[in-house]
Amino acid sequence: MKPIYINGRFLSQKLTGVQRYGQEILSALDRLLGSLDLSAGATEWILVVPEGLKITLDLHHIRILPIGHSNGHLWEQTVFAHTSRDGIALSLCNSGPLFHPRALSVIHDAVI
């Protein structure tokens, strides 16, 4: 199974409702992964964050991968996109890599 890479750029942003949503989803997902029988062949979940970012979330089943030194859109479009190229890219807070072939993004407050 392909690994799932979670875009952790939102953790470098000021805490608003969108970032709170991302944190709560990560925590709930981590708890869910802990309650499942994940035998051989299970998908690996990886939170990719900019290097030097202090992570206050208590994650036990989602691996944290600090990589790259910037933390803005450029990091997301280059470092995160390149790191997640062999799996699925999951972005919980509005933006994600544009040219990733397997990317999912949660869009908040969309107006049609």
Chain segment 35-85, per-residue pLDDT in tens: 876 665 678 999 999 999 888 899 999 999 999 988 789 999 999 999 999
Residue 38 lies in a domain: no
Residue 86 lies in a domain: yes
Range 67-92 burial, b when 16+ CB lie within 10 A, else e: ebeebeeebbbebbbebbeebbbbbb
Task: Note the pLDDT tens digit of each residue in 7-37.
Answer: 999 999 899 899 999 999 999 999 999 887 6
Domain count, the chain: 1
Residue 35 lies in a domain: no
Residue 49 lies in a domain: yes
Of 32, 4, 10, the C-alpha closest to 90 is 4
Residue 90 lies in a domain: yes
Q: Collapsing DSSP states into helix, strand and coil, what is residue 81?
A: helix
pLDDT of residue 38: 63
Q: How far, in Å, CA of 9 to CA of 47, rounded?
A: 10
Write down the pTM of the prediction.
0.90
Domain that holds residue 61: 4-29+43-95+97-101
Q: Collapsing DSSP states into helix, strand and coil, what is residue 59?
A: coil
Question: Is the backbone of residue 68 left (phi > 0), alpha (psi -120 to 50) or beta?
Answer: left
Q: Collapsing DSSP states into helix, strand and coil, what is residue 65?
A: strand
Residue 34 lies in a domain: no
Q: How far, in Å, CA of 93 to CA of 12, rounded?
A: 12
